[in-house]
Amino acid sequence: MDSTKPLILVVNDDGINAPGISALTAVAKEFGEVVVVAPDKPQSGMGHAITLDSTLHLKQVNNFDDTIAYSCSGTPVDCVKIAVTQLLPRKPDLVVSGINHGSNSSINVIYSGTMSAALEGSLECIPSVGFSLQNHSIEADFSASQYYARKIISQLLQEKHNKDVCLNVNIPNLSTNLIAGVKVCRQAKGNWEENYDERTDPMGRKYYWLTGKFVLEDKGTDTDEWALANNYVSVVPVQPDVTDYKIINDLKSLEK
């Protein structure tokens, strides 16, 4: 491997066979040496899950022509940990995750395997970005996503940012010429109103499928949801401290 070029780790949560990771790998290869480590099966909604109670298996695959690639039996976060600890010749210069089939704006960031993998990269002090396209289809057109991934990767590699910078990038489902540009914003307040589709199996036992509707609870014009609704690519910097600083003082009564 050429140690003068940037080393880029590519991960995702849709699995090693998803079209989105091929689209991202193609862009990453324009900038340096690339290693792909991705789950061997879809892992959407895995959040920051890690494999504690069982073992991990790796398999070298050739999904990406001459690019070194492994499928991993674990979660997206496992992929980052084992890549950095076991597989890569040195700490990578960048972790890119995605391109996710489906957006990870607003509250979805905490359920997202794509973004948890990126956050894990930043916890290892590697600048990291998750890319997600607002289209769940397996046949989604990733060309606008690739255009903006190229732009953002280029800037991250050139500009001075902290080693633990982590970006949640969501791309509207539009062709490149219809996208209005990039907005750096905050995570919109929103939530899911869940429902379960209750069914009965042939043995008479009930089982459930999760369904739901996203509810935006935020009228701000500085949010990722606003940006996407107005045809912008949203970029939200994320970090792992979930302390609710606003209410620490209100809770002091608990010390009595």
Q: Does 94 bind a copy of itself (CB under 8 A)?
A: no
Shortest distance, position 49 Cβ to a copy of itself, whole Å: 4
Question: Exactly one of 44, 97, 100, 132 binds a copy of itself (CB under 8 A); which one?
Answer: 44
R_g of the chain, CA atoms, integer Å = 19
Q: Is 78 in the site for a copy of itself (CB under 8 A)?
A: yes
- Choose the stretch contacting a copy of itself; rule: CB under 8 A; options: 21-29, 70-78, 90-98, 137-145: 70-78
Q: How far is the CB of 38 from a copy of itself (least distance, A)?
A: 16
Whole-angstrom Cα distance, residue 119 to residue 167? 8
* Least distance (Å) between residue 124 CB and a copy of itself: 8
Which residue type, as a one-letter code, is found at position 77?
V
Decide if residue 45 touches a copy of itself (CB under 8 A): yes
Q: Name 118's Cβ contacts closer than 8 Å, sequence gap at least 6.
A: 95, 96, 97, 128, 129, 130, 166, 167, 168, 238
In eight-state DSSP terms, residue 242 is -
Among positions 3, 200, 205, 213, the unique one binding a copy of itself when judged by CB under 8 A: 205
- Whose structure tokens read 């009930």? 206
Tell whether residue 230 is a contact of a copy of itself (CB under 8 A): no
Find the part of the chain contacting a copy of itself (CB under 8 A) among 1-9, 26-34, 61-69, 155-163: 155-163
Whether 128 and 94 have beta carbons less than 8 Å apart is answered as yes
Candidates 16-24, 61-69, 106-114, 138-146; binding stretch for a copy of itself (CB under 8 A): 106-114
Residue 234 amino acid letter: S
- x/- track of binding to a copy of itself for residues 163-202 (CB under 8 A): --xxx-------------xxxxxxx-x-x--xxx-xx---
Query: Residue for token digits 């379960």?
Result: 196
Between 111 and 150, how does the x/- string for binding to a copy of itself read (CB under 8 A)? x----x--x---x---------------------------
Handedness of CA 241, 211, 72, 34 (dihedral sign): negative
Of 89, 163, 175, 240, which one interacts with a copy of itself (CB under 8 A)?
A: 240
How far is it, in rounded angstroms, from Cα 139 to Cα 136?
A: 9
User: In angstroms, what is the minimal distance from the CB of 4 to a copy of itself?
Assistant: 26
In degrees, rounded to 5, the angle at the alpha carbon of residue 139 between the alpha carbons of residues 136 and 142 is 80
Q: Are 46 and 73 in contact (CB under 8 A)?
A: no
Report the nearest approach of a copy of itself to the CB of residue 94 (Å).
14
Which CB atom, from 112 or from 134, has the smaller least distance to a copy of itself?
Answer: 112
Find out whether 217 and 226 touch, Cβ atoms under 8 Å: no
Q: Could you give the CA distance from residue 77 to residue 96 in angstroms, rounded to a whole number? A: 12
Of 46, 168, 184, nearest in space to 118 by CA:
168
Answer yes or no whether residue 157 interacts with a copy of itself by CB under 8 A: no
Among 17, 19, 56, 229, binds a copy of itself (CB under 8 A): 56
